[in-house]
Chain A
C-alpha cells in the first residue's frame, strides 16, 4: 500500500482549475519530485494534502485512511509535515521555540519540547542561532528553519515546497545531501516540489509532472527526461518543431 495516495482531486479558485482530477501516490522509502511550469497547481496540491484546502472532489489517503474533512492540525498529527514555498517563520519567537511548536505533539511539557527542538535545530545547522528571534534570520537560515519545524513533527511524510528556491548552487548541493540523509531520521517518504532540474534528476526516485492542474507524466527521472509531453509543457512545443 502506498504511504500517501491522492485520488482524483480537483480544486478550483473561482473559475480557474488549479487541480484537475489529479491522482498520484507516494511510496515508503521514496523521494518523489513534483515538477511542472509555474501555476501548474503544485502548491495547491500540497495545500490539499496538508488540509488547508478542502477539495470538492477526490480524496487523500494516508496509510489507506482517508484524510477527507480532517483539520490541518489533525493531519499534522497523523504524520504529514510540510514546508512553505514562501517561508513563514514565527518572527517574534526564538528559533528553538519555532521548532518546539511542532515538537509539542510528541512532548507533554514545554521543556521536553524545547529539548527535542534544540536537537533538531543543531541537526539543520542553526545551532548558533538557536535563541535568536526567527525574524532576524536570513533567507537561507529561514529555509532551514522551515524544514526544522516540519521535522519536529516526526512526520512519516515530509512535503518540501521549493526548498531550493533562493539558494546558491553550493547551498543547493548541501540541501540535497541533507534531504538524502533524512530517511535515517525516520522519515518514511519525501515529496518535493522543485524547479531545479539537475537536483530533481539526481535525488528523485520518481517524478510526477503537472501542467495546468493535470498530471501529464509520471516515471523515473530517465523516463521523464525524454518524455515529449513534458518537454512540450516546459518549452511550449515538441522538440522536433523547435
Chain B
C-alpha cells in the first residue's frame, strides 16, 4: 500500500511540472495551430544552462528562472517573427510546413546544445534531500519544482485572463476571424504567444534541471510528452492539460517502478496511442464536428 501511495506522490509531483511544460506547448498550439517540435529542446537547453551555471558558479536554478524565462521568450518570439512568419503562403496554409520547420529547428537546437554544452549528461545536485512522511519519501527537489510549477501556471492563468494581451491570445486561439474583426493584431499575438510558450518551456526546464539529468539530445521525448499531455487531456482545454499531465505523471511513475525507467520513457507515447484510439478528442476535449 505504501508503495502505491509513494508512486501516487511521485506521479503527482511529476505531473505538476509536466503540466507546466504542456501549458507552454498548448499556448502555441492553441493560438497558431502550430505544433512546436522544438519545444522539448527549449526545455533541455534551459536545463543545461542552469546545470552549467550551477557547475561554474553554484547559482541556485530558481534564481535563474526569470533569466531563462526571458531568454526563452526572446528565442520564441524570434522563431515566430523571423522564421515561421516567413513561410511562403503557398505552403504555409497547412500544418505540414510549420511542423517540418520546427522539426528542423529541433535538430538545430539539439546540435547547438551539443556544441555549447558538449555531449555528456548534466544535472544540478541541488536540494537532494527528501522529506519523510512516515514511509513516504518526498524528494525536496521534486516538491519545490512542483510548487514552483503550480505558481507559474497560476500566474500564467491570471495573465491570460486579466491582461488585454492575454485576452487577445485566448480570443485568437478560439476564433481567429472573430479576433481579427475585433481589431486584434494577429502578428503581435502570434509573436507574444510563441514567446510566452517558449518562456514557459524554459521555466519548466529550469525547474526540471535539478530533478533530472539532461543531455542535449533529450529534447524530443519532452516534446512528445508535452504533446501526449495535450492530446490526452483534450485539445483546447486548459484544465484538460492539467488533467492530462496528472494522468501522464501517474503513468510514468507506475511504469518506472514496475517496468524500469527505460520502458517508462515509452509511457507518454503508448498512452498517446491508446487515447487516440479510444477517445480521439481527449478526456475533456471538444468533440470535432
Contacts and interface: CB of A to CB of B under 8 A. Distances in A.
Direct contact of A and B (CB under 8 A): yes
Interface in A48-103: none
B289 interface: yes
Contact-size category for A: under 10
Interface in A1-58: 13-14
Nearest to B286: A14
Chain B binding surface, main DSSP class = loop
Interface of B: 287, 289
Contacts of B287: 14
B285 to A, nearest CB: 12
Contacts of B289: 13-14
Contacts of A14: 287, 289
A13 B289 CA distance: 7
B4 to A, nearest CB: 38
B119 to A, nearest CB: 42
Nearest to B93: A91
Nearest to A53: B289
3 smallest beta-carbon distances between A and B, as pairs: A13-B289, A14-B287, A14-B289
Nearest to A44: B289
Nearest to A47: B289
A13 B288 CA distance: 9
Contacts of A13: 289
A14 B285 CA distance: 12
B225 to A, nearest CB: 30
Nearest to B289: A13
B96 to A, nearest CB: 13
Nearest to B287: A14
A13 B287 CA distance: 9
A14 B287 CA distance: 8
A66 B287 CA distance: 26
